[in-house]
Structure 1
Amino acid sequence: MDAFNAAQAGILTQVQYLRQHLVPVTPPAVADEVRDFIAANVDMIAADGQRQRAAVSNDAAGRVNAAADKIRTACGVS
C-alpha cells in the first residue's frame, strides 16, 4: 500500500471509529462539530481520490481543521 492509500485508509478508520462512538448522550455542541469533522474528512479524501483541483481538497482540509478547533473548544481542550 502506498502512502496515499495508507493515509486515506487511516482517515476512514478514524471516521468509522467516530461514527461508532458518537452516542446519543454526546452533548449537541460536540456532536454537531464531530459530524462536521467527519463530513469534511470524507469530502477531503473524496477530492484527493478523484484527483480534483487542489483548491477543492484544500477547502475540505480547512473545514477539517476548523471543525477540529471547534471540537477542542466545545470540549474545553486548548
Structure 2
Amino acid sequence: MLSEKDFPGVAALSICEALLLAMNDNKVLPEHEIVGILRDAAKTHENAAGTDNEIEAHLAVAALINRIIAGGNSVRRPPG
C-alpha cells in the first residue's frame, strides 16, 4: 500500500509516462529515442552515490525503469 510520501513519485511517473506516450503518438520522438531516455534515467540511478540507504533506493528506481523498458509497457506497444 502506498503511503502519502509515495504520492509525488507516483504522480511524476504517471505524468512522465503520459508525456512520453504523447511524444511517441504525435511523432515528436521515435520509440528508440524514448527508450534511450528511459535507459539514460536508469543509468543515472545505477551510478548514483550516497549512503547505503540512498544507493539502495537508487538501485530500486533503476530496476523499476529497466522493468518498464523490458516489460512491453505502453510506450513499447506490442505489434498488432
Same fold (TM over 0.5): no
* TM-score normalised by the chain length of structure 1: 0.41
Higher Cα Rg, which structure: 2
* TM-score normalised by the chain length of structure 2: 0.40
